[in-house]
Chain A
Amino acid sequence: MAPPRTGWSRRAQYGLFFSFIAAIAGLAIGLILLALSIASPERFKDLKGMALDVTAPVTGALRQINTTASGLASGAGSYWDAANQNAELRRQRDQMREQLVTARAILQENRQLKAALQLREQTSDVVATGRLVGSSFESPRRFAILSAGARDGVKVGMPIRAARGLIGRTIDVGTLASRVLLVSDRANIVPSRLLRTGQAVICQGRGDGTVELKPLEVGRNPFHRGDIVITSGTGGLYPPLVPIARVIRLDGDNAIAVPLADPGGVSFAIVEQPYEPEATAPLTENDEGLP
């Protein structure tokens, strides 16, 4: 049929014909697989987990080499301007010390107030720590590979954060590694609030490394440049009070912000328990269409 003519050999003609039929069968299988993956992304989780286990150690090892090499370069660079850096750091330390005293006072006051209110909070338990070793740099989706998996107790739907801020949540888990849906992915929506005013906002990724912030209430644009957005804990997946992003510009009623934890720059990522596990259990089942 379609493939190039092969002359008079009946055997060669049949070979090409069957290859053509097999290709059409392959196309049909591909379409079915794709339809299944879109309809329920959870379906092939064992296969995807296995693939992660095979590839992630390689990525991790290469990452290690990369980090060592760039560490040598930046380590040498740090000596270059040491005197000025030293002075600058001293100045910052003194400033921080003042802020620390204020923060301690606030913390104490907060504790007393909470005790008075009999507030019970779920403590955030660290499940595992890992490194972000790779990412989906070939596709419009924003995934990262985390070097911690089911062996370390990681499960699908756990929040991931770094010291600087929120990174995302797990969507595929292998034995040794897991795949993280980054905050900047379009399908990742984080209930959050503005640190300055406490106003509730929705934070959604844009797919290019930034996030879009939408206020929940209609009205004047509440954002200013430099505003910090933190998680609100609504929905029960992400723990509250984790910094997410900093506003860089306003866009109509919304704002564009940059995540505070740059997945390329963080050295360690922390996997935590879902904030309220009982709240996420039904949610993840309903939410399967949106990984």
Chain B
Amino acid sequence: MVRAALASKKIGQGPVPGAVYVPAASVVAASLFAVLPIVAENGWFPDCGFLMLIGWRLRRTDAWPSWWAAPLGLLNDLFAGNPLGLSVTVWTFSMLVLDLLDRRTIWRDYWIEWALATLFVLLYESAQWLVAAWMGARVPFLFMLPPIFISVAAFPVAAWFVGRIDSWRLGRR
């Protein structure tokens, strides 16, 4: 699909330069949301980088080679101040699981994609919670429910952005 689109030579219709790197760049940009000057009492904000990552990977199998998730995760850890390795592990693991799932799924629709995204958000937030507990900050899991709900609700927004960016980078207006 992408290869065919990248090869198109129509004037004004082709992909933007560096279209191959746009997905990864948009994930880094979403990770940079952590730089926003919000001083919050609790961690309710969704992890935008992760939502974009899942959104891209569900839209395209070949958004990036799956190992790119590791350096992208490292950047996210550094920006957000997570313990180093948390996003590296969870993001790369998610890519591998989705690679395996792609071999099994016959068909997909929006609901299945949202359900998959919910599972991955659950995985990510649980990992965050567990690592925090191991580092001496064990909070009740109940505190994690609002961020999980907000992230799940925010996924369609991320998927919409992914769709817009994707059609822009491939020159399909």
User: Which of B35, B36, B90, B129 counts the most A-chain CB atoms under 10 A from its CB?
Assistant: B35
Residues from chain A with a CB closer than 8 A to the CB of B103 are 2, 4
Residues from chain A with a CB closer than 8 A to the CB of B61 are 3-4
Known: A186-B136, A187-B136. A138 touches B43 (CB 8 A): yes
Give, as a whole number of angstroms, the nearest-CB distance from B168 to chain A.
25
Whether B89 contacts A209 by the Cβ 8 Å rule is no
> Does A235 sit within 8 A of B, measured CB to CB?
no
Interface size class of A (residues with CB under 8 A): 35 or more
Give, as a whole number of angstroms, the nearest-CB distance from A165 to chain B.
15
Give, as a whole number of angstroms, the nearest-CB distance from A189 to chain B.
9
- Bitwise, A199-227 to B at CB < 8 A (1) or not (0) is 00000011111000000000000000000
Residues from chain A with a CB closer than 8 A to the CB of B143 are 140, 207-208
Residues from chain A with a CB closer than 8 A to the CB of B82 are 139
Tell me the bound Cα distance from A47 to B79 in angstroms: 11
Tell me the bound Cα distance from A34 to B135 in angstroms: 11
Residues from chain A with a CB closer than 8 A to the CB of B134 are 38
> Does A62 sit within 8 A of B, measured CB to CB?
yes
Partner of B139, one of A24, A60, A208: A208
- Bitwise, B123-144 to A at CB < 8 A (1) or not (0) is 0000011011011111100011
Residues from chain B with a CB closer than 8 A to the CB of A34 are 83-86, 88-89, 131
Whether B78 contacts A48 by the Cβ 8 Å rule is yes
CB nearest to B93 among chain A residues: A27
Chain B interface residue count, Cβ-Cβ cutoff 8 angstroms:
59
Whether A62 contacts B37 by the Cβ 8 Å rule is yes
> Does B114 sit within 8 A of A, measured CB to CB?
no
> Does A29 sit within 8 A of B, measured CB to CB?
yes
> Does A290 sit within 8 A of B, measured CB to CB?
yes
> Does B39 sit within 8 A of A, measured CB to CB?
yes
Tell me the bound Cα distance from A185 to B61 in angstroms: 39
Give, as a whole number of angstroms, the nearest-CB distance from B31 to chain A.
10
Give, as a whole number of angstroms, the nearest-CB distance from B61 to chain A.
5
Residues from chain A with a CB closer than 8 A to the CB of B91 are 30
Tell me the bound Cα distance from A22 to B88 in angstroms: 13
> Does A31 sit within 8 A of B, measured CB to CB?
yes
Give, as a whole number of angstroms, the nearest-CB distance from A264 to chain B.
4
Give, as a whole number of angstroms, the nearest-CB distance from B7 to chain A.
15
Partner of A185, one of B44, B66, B79, B137: B137
Query: Which secondary structure dominates where chain B touches chain A?
Result: helix
User: Which of A29, A55, A136 counts the most B-chain CB atoms under 10 A from its CB?
Assistant: A136
Residues from chain B with a CB closer than 8 A to the CB of A136 are 34, 43, 80-81
Give, as a whole number of angstroms, the nearest-CB distance from A229 to chain B.
18
Partner of A140, one of B43, B81, B95: B43
B residues 1-57 near A (Cβ < 8 Å) are: 32, 34-47
Residues from chain A with a CB closer than 8 A to the CB of B89 are 27, 30-31, 33-34
Give, as a whole number of angstroms, the nearest-CB distance from A125 to chain B.
26
Tell me the bound Cα distance from A264 to B39 in angstroms: 5
Residues from chain A with a CB closer than 8 A to the CB of B95 are 23
Whether B35 contacts A36 by the Cβ 8 Å rule is no
CB nearest to B144 among chain A residues: A140
Tell me the bound Cα distance from A80 to B59 in angstroms: 52
- Besides A33-B88, A48-B84, 17 more A-B contacts (Cβ < 8 Å) are A3-B61, A23-B67, A23-B69, A30-B88, A30-B93, A32-B85, A34-B84, A62-B36, A63-B37, A66-B37, A137-B39, A137-B45, A138-B46, A139-B81, A143-B81, A187-B137, A208-B42
27 pairs of residues in contact across A and B, judged by CB atoms under 8 Å: A2-B99, A4-B61, A22-B67, A26-B88, A27-B88, A27-B92, A30-B85, A33-B74, A33-B88, A37-B86, A44-B84, A47-B84, A62-B36, A134-B36, A135-B40, A137-B43, A137-B45, A139-B132, A140-B144, A141-B135, A142-B42, A186-B132, A208-B42, A209-B41, A263-B39, A263-B41, A264-B40
A residues apposed to B, CB below 8 Å = 2-4, 15, 19-20, 22-27, 29-38, 41, 44, 47-48, 51-52, 55, 58-60, 62-63, 66, 132-145, 172, 179, 184-187, 205-209, 262-264, 289-291
